[in-house]
Amino acid sequence: MTHAFKVAVLGASGLVGRTMLQILEQRRFPVSELVPLASPRSAGRKVTFAGREYTVKAVSKEAFEGVDLALFSAGGGPSRQWAPVAAAAGALVVDNSSAFRMDPDVPLCVPEVNLEQARRPPKGIVANPNCSTIQLLVALAPLHREIPIRRIVVSSYQAVSGAGSRASECLVAQRRALAADEVPEPGAIGAVLEGDLLMQWTPDPVTGYQEEELKLIHESRKILGMPELMVSPTCVRVPVDTGHAEAVCVEFEAPMTPERARALLKAAPGVEVIDDLPAGVYPKPSMAAGRDPVLVGRIREDLGLAGGICLYVVADNLRKGAALNAIQIAESLLLS
């Protein structure tokens, strides 16, 4: 009989937390006891798992007693406070926030790319990368193994659900207002997204980049073990509910052909190639929503750089970009 685990989910009532519960159930992760947790403000809410309704409890030290696996998706502050507590209690912590991603003693893991780095986490914590980084590297790692990458140019078009449930609700309200010929409110998004494109992440005054863009740079370097990797990112928020898209151009140490890239991607775990542009077939967020694979299409020669490759990468940011990747880490470390 497969060993079952006591699992805590911090942030259980949020978008990613609820998706974690869904995926745990869908993948039949062996849960002997579920402990749904949240901040005191969100405690008392109800969540459903495996046909049973649970009341979310306020996070506390006592809540992690006997927990084998702690999945965190409650933001950087709660993670910094409670992840060490959960790890000290003996839990494997998989943290979806940015709190520990650049900590040299905390592995930053995409299972299809660098699972071995997470096998023995020194602090008992494994960090989940940012959503845009995860899908980018699932698509590029098979190519990088064939011919090392020299430079990545990536523009991301990111769904509003990546900003949380309040932002998703705000976009719905903006749509309703515009449909009624009313003036939409910026709300939790901070500006009117419906009918527009935004760049609303925290700017870095030194580099001129946004925080989201810097994550793509630093996280890609850490995961691939390439501290000097050249990454040129631009991140844009789009009025799409779920599903991030990325336009990517890659320079390699030696020429890569589209034919070879397509063959490598078709054989890669976690990737689905959808690539027939003449027939109007290419990845779209609507194709990725609610699904696990990273969709890759528009695989073509970079006409601006001989030997380079351009491609288009789409994934469900709540699943592979967050909850699924975290649970795959847990499965790999606890079940295999």
Which residues are the active-site residues?
131, 244
Radius of gyration over every alpha carbon of the chain, rounded to an integer in angstroms: 20
Cα(172)–Cα(187) distance, integer angstroms: 11
Supply 148's token pair: 């090392």
Cα(203)–Cα(197) distance, integer angstroms: 16
Break the chain down into helix, strand, coil percent, rounded to 5: 35, 25, 40
CA 1 to chain CA centroid, Å, is 32
Supply 175's token pair: 């749509």
AA letter at 5: F
Cα(152)–Cα(133) distance, integer angstroms: 12
Cα(222)–Cα(332) distance, integer angstroms: 20
